[in-house]
Amino acid sequence: MPKAFRFRFDPVLRYRRIWEERRKRDFAVARMDVERQQGLLGKLRESERLERKELEGLRRGSLDLAAIRMHMTYMSAIGRQIAVGDLELIRLREVEEEKRQDYSRARRDVAVLEKYRDNQRDAHNKDLDRVEQKNLDEIAVRRAALSLQPGR
């Protein structure tokens, strides 16, 4: 009975697949963090735009300096939040890129082992085919030899 194919690095492959899944999850979390930060910045920029529009209306309409000062202070606070948010977005993008590279390396490690396993399986199957063909050839030679014997 021919031996069944057994990949000797199967435990390593399983470990690398688990590692790849973890890296994939980490990358997805980093991607979601970037998208969340972009959403927050979009809302802040929209608030800033609306506040600018309202401030322009105040400047044209009346000379209520207290209201104008309050709006200017609010716009200044929004501007600071946007600046801090932009810095955070840059940091999150760097983390995302690092996680993407980690995931890419883990995926490549799994792919290399899978390719090696497939090559090993193909070589094993070729060996089995060669042994089977050898046995069939041997049977054919014996039959031919028996049929050439006189009295048979």
Q: What is the pTM of this model?
A: 0.75
pLDDT reported for residue 152: 58
pLDDT reported for residue 69: 86
Q: What is the pLDDT of residues 60-100, one digit of tens each?
A: 777 678 888 888 899 999 999 999 999 999 999 999 999 99
Q: How far apart are CA 42 and CA 114, in angstroms?
A: 43
Q: How far apart are CA 13 and CA 36, in angstroms?
A: 34
pLDDT reported for residue 79: 94
- For residues 10-34, average pLDDT: 97
Residue with tokens 């810095």: 87
pLDDT tier at 151 (50, 70, 90 boundaries)? low
Q: What is the pLDDT of residues 98-139, one digit of tens each?
A: 999 999 999 999 999 999 999 999 999 999 999 999 999 999
CB atoms within 10 A of CB 71: 19
CB atoms within 10 A of CB 84: 12
Q: Is 44 exposed, middle or buried (0-12, 13-18, 19+ CB in 10 A)?
A: middle
* Total residue length of the chain: 152
